[in-house]
Structure formats: C-alpha cells, structure tokens
Structure 1
C-alpha cells in the first residue's frame, strides 16, 4: 500500500527570510492526519535567505538529520561544534538529554535550500552528539547509498533509531530497487525531479508512505534525487 503526501498539500509558511514546507505537523501547522510516520516526526523543506537563520534554540530527545541541496548552512552548538554544511553533506545531531544550536546562512548573496528531518529516538536520555559526513555524488549516482543507520555501517552516519536512510541521485530513465523485510515500512521523499514509485507518479516535494510493499522500484522521469527511509 502506498499513501502519497503531495507537495502542495504540505503546511507552508513564507516568513520573508524563511520559506518553509512541513510534511508533518510542526510549530503553528497542526494537522492531526499528518503527525508523522513510524519514527519519522518532521520533514521540513526550508529555503533561508542570505544572511539570515535560526537563532540559538534548544532540542532534546530527537534525532535530527539535515541535508543541504544548494547553498551552505553554518551550524554552532553547545557541544562546541562549529561547521558549515554544503551540498552532498549530511549532518546528524542527537539532541538526547539536551542541546542548543543555531543555524545560519553565511552567504550574503545565495539562499540555502535544505531538508531537515527529525526522528524519534530509540529511547530517551541519549548522550548528545554531532556527526557530519560528505557523500560524493559518484557514490549515490543511480544507486541507493546508505547515509544513516543504527550501526553506522558502510560509512553512514550513526543514528539512535532503527531506521536506515538512503540517498540516490538518478539519471532519467534509471531504476533503483529496494526490498523491505517483513514488518518494515518505508517513506520516500522526492527532493528533486520526478519519479515513478511502483507505478505511482511523484514530483519534487512529494512524499509517500509504504507498508506491505516488499519490493520498491523507483524510476526517474528525468534527473532526480530521492531520500528513502527504511523504518521499523
């Protein structure tokens, strides 16, 4: 079974400096039909204006993954981390018992386009930590590259939840496949372009929840990029 969450149906706010879409309920956007999926709690697509950003704010008991599509995002946190996330890089932050951080577009000319994902942790009270890694395009071109997993396998980020995240950059007409083990579920988020998922058409910004679909076939209509979540 595939349930589609269309891009245009997401919560949307344009704050001037921030243009943001919420796949699930977030902040002032509340939709009881869309409170998350399995361990997935937040999928936000953000565009932040040059020289603007999110001031220092707290988090706890959440696994936060950030992926930059274009531009750059500067990060600082209470662990002493200071970094810049660029396209092709993913950041994982375990908020655990508590962490504060800020996110800022350091450019004076170019907006930053990013996705930020929150997953509920396997348990509360994890030790806060930070991790950032680049995944070159050649590693994910026309294949599903594991980018986050509970054990950090294959050079992926280590996430405190039974979830595996895969990133793929696809040429038009190419197909990638993924098998779901019995009892597993999946969410596909189309970051760019458009794809056919088991006969269902999806465009940029669309998401799809899957259960009882042992085999997934993702065919790109043209140059596309997708993020796949394999969830308990």
Structure 2
C-alpha cells in the first residue's frame, strides 16, 4: 500500500519567530484511531529566526531527534548537558521518566530549518539520557545513511524498533527503499526539501511524505531533494502515552 500525505494534513503554529508545521502521520489512517503511526508519534518541521529562545520545558516518555539542515542552536538540559547543534551535529533526547531542556537559536547560524521528531519508546519511565553525533559529511549523496535507531549500526540510539535514515538525491537520480529484516516494516518517506516522483505516478514536494507498506516503489528526483526516511514495525512494541509522541485521541 502506498499513501501520499500532503501538506493539507499538517497543523501550523506561529509565535513570533517560531514557526512549525506539525505532522501526525496516523491521521492518514483514521480507522486506526491513533494520531501517530505505530512508533512514529509526531514530526515538527520548524523554521525559527535567529535569537529565538525556546525556554526550559518538560518532556516525558518521548524519544526526540533534533535534525537540522540550517541554523545553530545552543542546547541546555536537566542532565547538565550543554552543547551546540547544527546541520552536522545531531541530538537525540531520550526523555524517559523526567526531562527538561531549553534551546537558543544563535544569530551566527542564520534562520533555523529542521525537524523535531517524536518517536515512541517501547515502554514508559525509562532513564533519561542525551546523545550527540557529529556527521562526517553534511549530506549523504545518493545513498541511504543511518542516523538513529535500535542497534549498534546506528550512531544515535532510539529505545524502540524505529530507524531513521537520510540522503540527498540529486536531480535525475533514482533510489529504492533500503532492505529490512522484517516483512512487517513500514516506511514513511519525508521530503524535507525538493520534489520527488514515486513510481512516476505520485509527486511529492517539500514537506510532503508517503506511507509505504508491502511495496517497493522507485523514487525519482525531479530536482535535487533532501529526504528523511522513517522505518517502523507495524507489530512492534511501543508506548503511546508520551507527552508529545502519544496518541491524542
């Protein structure tokens, strides 16, 4: 099954220099009665002006990946971590039982654009922790790169059967989905920026995505495009009561 998720399904929020478009991927399947899809809870596509402070605030039972493509952020949290996040330095906050953080968008980095991704953990009440990873290269050209997931081959760890990859697909190039060990895998193919044709029948533009189950489509870059790929197990274990990743129904 191949389902397009267009930008009309998103919720927009704007407050001063802070703007986000929120995707609850489960809304495309209302019969499931879940705003998330399996372990993928919520995806925020953010554009934030330099100098904006997101003050200290809580998270609980969310696995949160901060994935930037532009801008620089100074991070501070209740685990006593202070660090800089950028398009080459990514962060996962495994919020667990109790976690607070603040983020300041630095003037030197210009306008921030990136994703704040809320993944569901396997269970509630896990110990909080924070991870950082320095990408060897800003972009992975025409091949899938492992970013975050469960297993030693992923540099950032997520505490559920969820995996994230990315790539930059150059204009005119084609790619297939990566192989997975389970026939119960489902994919969410998110176009961060660009234009992609799927099987030459579905067009996806910036901010749009496709939910893919039990198919292996071909993706063709109409223009050079940045992609984030989510892989989840439809029969996997997850906790759907997280503060942001949880089911809103």
1:5–1:23 CA contact under 8 A, matched in 2: no
Give 1:138 deviation, angstroms.
7.1
Determine the structure 2 residue equivalent to 1:38: 38
Match of 2:238 in 1: none
8 Å CA contact 1:137–1:169 kept in 2: the answer is: no
Q: Which moved more, 1:185-194 or 1:34-43?
A: 34-43
Q: CA-to-partner distance for each residue in 1:50-88, whole Å, 9 max, x for gaps?
A: 211311001111100010111112211011111111113
Matched with 2:236 is none
1:66-215 correspondence to structure 2 within 5 Å = 66-107=66-107, 110-137=110-137, 140-153=140-153, 155-178=154-177, 179-180=179-180, 181-199=182-200, 200-213=202-215, 215=216
In 1, the alpha carbon distance for the partners of 2:29 and 2:2 equals 19
Q: Higher relative CO (CA 8 A, sep ≥ 6), structure 1 or 2?
A: 2
Structure 1 runs not aligned, ≥5 long:
none
| In structure 2, C-alpha distance between the alignment counterparts of 1:191 and 1:24, rounded to whole Å | 16
Deviations, residues 16-47 of structure 1 (Å, cap 9, x unaligned) = 2111101128xxxx999471111111100111
- Structure 2 residues not aligned, in runs of 5+: 234-249
Secondary structure at the aligned position of 1:140 is classed as coil
Q: Is the 8 A contact 1:37 1:209 kept in 2?
A: no
Alpha-carbon distance in 2 for matches of 1:229, 1:41: 11
Report the count of equivalent residues: 226
2:5 touches 2:28 (CA, 8 Å); kept in 1? no
